[in-house]
Amino acid sequence: MSYITTKDGTQIYYKDWGTGQPIVFHHGWPLSADDWDAQMLFFLSHGYRVIAHDRRGHGRSTQTSDGNEMDTYAADVAALAQHLDLKNAVHIGHSTGGGEVARYVAKYGKGRVAKAVLIGAVPPIMLKTAAYPGGLPMEVFDGFRQALAANRAQFFLDVPSGPFYGFNRPGAKVSEGSIRNWWRQGMMGGAKNHYECIKAFSETDFTEDLKAIDVPVLVMHGEDDQIVPIENSAKLSVKLLKHGTLKTYPGFPHGMCTTHPEVINPDLLAFIKA
């Protein structure tokens, strides 16, 4: 197993497969690098070097008491990129990982990043604010915290069984394996880390990060995303990016990389090759 140790002693687990142009995958909350299996195998077969890490407090990385916020998450990625000497890399982030990509590329990406992709991503900000009145009220995220603190194991069954993959929609083809894999990944991480990450993914304002990014960015979003509603995320983010392109998917859920890899993977490949 491969780890780097950050300045504060945190061990960050990562996978690094293949050779060629590097593609770095950033997972969502409360998951791990394993959430990218379908993408990593696909791009590996197309001649790319694929890298994915477990965010601190998630998966196989250290369950730290501190640093469960976006600036530290981005700094951890910068440490990994420096350790692996990544150049001309494409950074792809899903959900919370999309926020991590925005913060990392804006702050550390100069000279190292070729392109970026935000998939079902939380920027510019999930929380309802004066600047973003279409956001979700604090009560939604307080509900997440209450459910996690009360019974994390049950909460981590309820989310993938319902809105995350759209399995609560009429006629949905439910994958028991996907539900169990989501639960498995979630329960590997730390309860304190997951609890504090809710604030990180909901209250961090990425407006200035998006404005600062000067590489091409593809913004991909399911139009039936019940976790990160498209109107206050992707449709606003693309307006803030200098070189942003928006691609939306009718009927697709938040976890569309898992439910529809046969659609998402070729679109990612086309963007990377363009």
Domain that holds residue 201: 2-273
The answer to whether 76 is a known catalytic residue is no
**Residue 92: predicted pLDDT:** 99
**CATH code at 56?**
3.40.50.1820
**Residue ranges of E strands in the chain:** 2-5, 11-17, 22-26, 49-53, 89-94, 113-119, 217-222, 244-249
- Of 27, 32, 225, 237, which is the active-site residue? 225
pLDDT, tens only, 211-236? 999 999 999 999 999 999 999 999 99
- Of 26, 58, 221, 254, which is the active-site residue? 254
The answer to whether 225 is a known catalytic residue is yes
pLDDT, tens only, 111-125? 999 999 999 999 999
Work out the pLDDT band at 1, boundaries 50, 70, 90.
confident
The answer to whether 26 is a known catalytic residue is no
pLDDT, tens only, 25-69? 999 999 999 999 999 999 999 999 999 999 999 999 999 999 999
- Of 32, 61, 95, 233, which is the active-site residue? 95
| Pairing assessment for the beta strands 113-119 and 49-53 based on DSSP bridges | unpaired
Q: How far apart are the C-alpha atoms of 83 and 104, rounded to whole Å?
A: 15
Length of the chain: 274
pTM of the complete model beyond 0.85:
yes
- Sequence-distant (6+) residues with CB within 8 A of 226 are 163, 164, 166, 168, 253, 254
Number of separate helices (H) and strands (E) present in the chain: 10, 8
**Residue 116: predicted pLDDT:** 98
Number of domains making up the chain: 1
Work out the pLDDT band at 102, boundaries 50, 70, 90.
very high
